[in-house]
Amino acid sequence: MIPKDLKEKLLWLILDDLMFWVFLVGTAGSGKSLLTASLENWLNGSELSTTVVNLDPGVETPPYTSDVDIREYVNYGEIMEKFGLGPNGALVASLDMAISHIDDLKGEVVDLGRDYVLVDCPGQMELFAYRNSGPLIVSSLTGKDVALSLYLLDSNISRTPAGYVASMLLGFSINIRFGLPQLYILSKQDILTEDEVEQIVQWGEESYLLEEALDSSAAGLVREYSISALRMLDDLGGVTSVIPVSAKQMTGIEPLYGELQRIFSGGDNIYGEL
């Protein structure tokens, strides 16, 4: 049996050489790119070195300066024109083509050798997560490094009980696709009242409160399906707390960092027993 303090020291010795990958995933417009920028600012301000990777071939002006960028390897506009594709087809083709450059892209990240790697994932989540290329890109990039996904639930949708369950279901499905430890972020909390935020946080902590809220706010098939889905998620451990964050007002970033640390230091048993 290794004493706890020695165990922690050993763990940090191991972690010292590792990079921590954070993949920001969520539906279109859920706030991935702005949170990438805000998280980078916060980490840099806390003297933690950060590499920002843009994985969205179609983005024009992200709200950060990327250190490593998929657009250096694939030209979305050219692919669209050359193959006569629409925006979604061109994104799919761009991601497929990016796979052959993934070692170079990873090499850039490794050469920078920073602690945190923030990866802003493509806007059309379904074209990234529900094709083979997305999970392949994620696993090729991370290799044996420590990685997690941040799944963003947009406050616009998650403010109603049925919207919250639907967002959680989608997030759970993303968790299945990438197979990484995952944190759930309630993004754009600034558009909600404090009471609404508190209520949503409670739904994640006590699922019976969410079921009560569904019962009283939804009707017909929406209520029936949402309650069944909630119970299924509950059985699978898929109803977890959400972390309210506003990338715009820079609120909630510190608690988010605390959760990142908890996972990266083995709080979710991702390293197995020492």
Ligand X SMILES: Nc1nc2c(ncn2[C@@H]2O[C@H](COP(=O)(O)OP(=O)(O)OP(=O)(O)O)[C@@H](O)[C@H]2O)c(=O)[nH]1
Residues that bind Mg ion (CB under 5 A): 32-33, 123
Q: How many residues bind ligand X (CB under 6 A)?
A: 17
Question: 130, 64 in Cβ contact below 8 A?
Answer: no
Residue 58 binding: pick among Mg ion, ligand X, none (C-beta 5-8 Å cut-off by kind): none
Q: Per CB under 6 A, does 31 bind ligand X?
A: yes
30 vs 149, beta carbon nearer ligand X: 30
The residue count for the chain? 274
Give first-to-last CA distance, the chain, whole Å: 9
d(CA 197, CA 85): 41
Stretch that binds ligand X, among 32-40, 79-87, 195-203, 236-244 (CB under 6 A): 32-40
Q: Which two tokens mark 220? A: 């017909």
Q: Per CB under 6 A, does 30 bind ligand X?
A: yes
CA angle 185, 193, 28 (to 5 degrees): 40
- Edge-to-edge strand order for the sheet containing 50-54? 68-69, 50-54, 116-120, 20-26, 146-154, 182-187, 242-244
Interacting residue with ligand X among 20, 21, 23, 33 (CB under 6 A): 33
d(CA 239, CA 11): 29
33 vs 226, beta carbon nearer ligand X: 33
Residue 266 binding: pick among ligand X, Mg ion, none (C-beta 5-8 Å cut-off by kind): none
Residue 190 binding: pick among ligand X, Mg ion, none (C-beta 5-8 Å cut-off by kind): ligand X
For the bound state, the minimum distance from the C-beta of residue 271 to ligand X, rounded and expressed in Å, comes to 30
Stretch that binds ligand X, among 2-10, 13-21, 28-36, 46-54 (CB under 6 A): 28-36
Q: Find the Cα–Cα–Cα–Cα dihedral 243, 149, 237, 127, rounded to 10°.
A: 110
**Contacting ligand X within 178-237 (CB under 6 A):** 187-188, 190-191
For the bound state, the minimum distance from the C-beta of residue 123 to ligand X, rounded and expressed in Å, comes to 3
Q: Pattern of binders to ligand X over 116-155, x per CB under 6 A? A: -------x--------------------------------
Q: Which of 160, 188, 194, 192 is nearest to 249 (CA)?
A: 188
